[in-house]
Amino acid sequence: MSLIPTLAETAARARADLRMGLPVVIGGHLAAAVETLSAARLADLQALGPAALVLTARRAETLKARIYDPGLARVKVPGDADLGWLRALSDPAGDLMTPMKGPCFTERGGDVQPHQAALALAKSAQLLPAMLMVPAAPQPGLTSLQPGPLLALLASETAMHPVVAARLPLGAAERTRLHIFRPDDGGTEHYAIEIGDPPRDAPVLARLHSACFTGDVLGSLKCDCGPQLHGALTAMGKNGSGVLLYLNQEGRGIGLANKMRAYDLQNQGFDTVEANHRLGFEDDERDFRVGAALLRRLGFTSTRLMTNNPRKVAMLESHGITVAERVPLIAARNRFNTDYLDTKSSKSGHLL
Ligand SMILES: Nc1nc2c(ncn2[C@@H]2O[C@H](COP(=O)(O)OP(=O)(O)OP(=O)(O)O)[C@@H](O)[C@H]2O)c(=O)[nH]1
Ligand SMILES: [Zn+2]
């Protein structure tokens, strides 16, 4: 029946539910994001049975909670725990001010696929990966998902389709077209900026640029994104042709709110990688497969890729796009970005 929502459509609804503080049903559990949970809904969830706070192994390591499950820990929630207790364990903002949380007793044994799926869904909704879960029967009106298919969906490549393209003269290159691509589940759009008329049978000067609102738009001095974006467009203009994919993977895929949480932690002395880990994320949550897919869609099979990130080169190569040459894209250092650039080269493998 074509009027019944597909799994991808139901998952998109579930993301919206979590973002507005509504629980979803995942494999016999009610699951709510701690970040958006209200006190009233917490009380209603706790009335249904014993609750667990599900955290990623990254966050659990910081809290020194025992990790028995692959990739996560299920912290037992005491019956009298309030929102403040849950938030203090979920959000590292106050870790240094109130270092002694817990003690955290974690559950072990049983099927943790629903918990894995809940955390993956929270990440894909760009919320803090911290979920309150209660085993319970499905409630009327709540979005319901099976954990196995949901995990498979979230790990799979999102199909994109072209929506529209139009001429857009830029300071860097007057002969430019902006293409909009949209995922089939109505999620985040990505853009392709095509400069000149790059021949499809030769390596195209290309960049996969991940969104950085602070750097690209505001000219932040904390990172190298703004100069890289404008440097790449200028180089493509001078070259007479090129394609820049503007991928809406803000904050290496964790979203702007979480990136600002990471900046707050960096102001407390943690580096960019440690900050992501304390929040419960991996260093880099981006899915670069979409970059390869969009290049192919535009008719390109070979690139001269402007990047310092060997992971981007490896990913394109493993998804059928030849990287004929890596073109370094080095931005100037300043006193605000020098530690960030050092961490990128020492911990993230960037060639700087
Ligand atoms: N989580 C997090 N993201 C950051 C931070 N600083 C910058 N970013 C994000 O990092 C990403 C950088 O993207 P890119 O410049 O395309 O990628 P890159 O891995 O640096 O590789 P190249 O620039 O191609 O060498 C953007 O999404 C930024 O928003 C930070 O401190 N924490
Ligand atoms: Zn940036």
Helix (H) or strand (E) segment spanning residue 29: strand 29-33
State yes or no: 303 annotated in a binding site. no
- Residue 61 is predicted with a pLDDT of 95
Give φ, ψ of 242 to 5 degrees: 165, 170
Q: Could you say which of 2.30.29.30, 3.40.50.10990, 3.40.309.10, 3.30.70.100 is the CATH number of the domain covering 160-249+286-347?
A: 3.40.50.10990
Closest atom of ligand 1 to CA, residue 309 = 25
Q: pTM value?
A: 0.96
ipTM: 0.98
Give φ, ψ of 151 to 5 degrees: -60, -40
CATH class of the 7-154 domain in this structure = alpha beta
Give φ, ψ of 174 to 5 degrees: -70, -35
**Residue ranges of the alpha helices (H) in the chain?**
7-19, 39-48, 57-63, 83-90, 113-124, 147-155, 225-239, 256-267, 272-279, 289-297, 310-318, 338-347
State yes or no: 211 annotated in a binding site. yes
Cβ of 223 below 6 Å from ligand 1 = yes
- Residue 101 is predicted with a pLDDT of 66
Q: Digits of tens for pLDDT over the chain (352 positions)?
A: 789 999 999 999 999 999 999 999 999 999 999 999 999 999 999 999 999 999 999 999 999 999 999 999 999 999 999 999 999 999 999 888 876 666 789 999 999 999 999 999 999 999 999 999 999 988 899 999 999 999 999 999 999 999 999 999 999 999 999 999 999 888 999 999 999 999 999 999 999 999 999 999 999 999 999 999 999 999 999 999 999 999 999 999 999 999 999 999 999 999 999 999 999 999 999 999 999 999 999 999 999 999 999 999 999 999 999 999 999 998 788 898 888 888 888 888 888 7
Distance 333 CA to ligand 1 centre (A): 15
Tokens matching residue 286 = 């981006």
Q: Which of 284, 289, 304, 326 is catalytic?
A: 284
Q: Name the residue among 297, 306, 291 with its Cα closest to residue 204.
A: 306
Distance 4 CA to ligand 2 centre (A): 40
For residues 72 and 54, the answer to whether their CB atoms sit within 8 Å is yes
Distance 221 CA to ligand 2 centre (A): 9
Closest atom of ligand 1 to CA, residue 225 = 15
Q: Ligand 1, atom 23: nearest CA belongs to which residue?
A: 307
286 among known catalytic residues: yes
Pairing, β 144-145 against β 72-76: unpaired
Domain boundaries, the chain: 7-154, 160-249+286-347
- Residue 102 is predicted with a pLDDT of 66
Spatial distance between the Cα atoms of 258 and 187, rounded to a whole number of angstroms = 18
Spatial distance between the Cα atoms of 296 and 280, rounded to a whole number of angstroms = 33
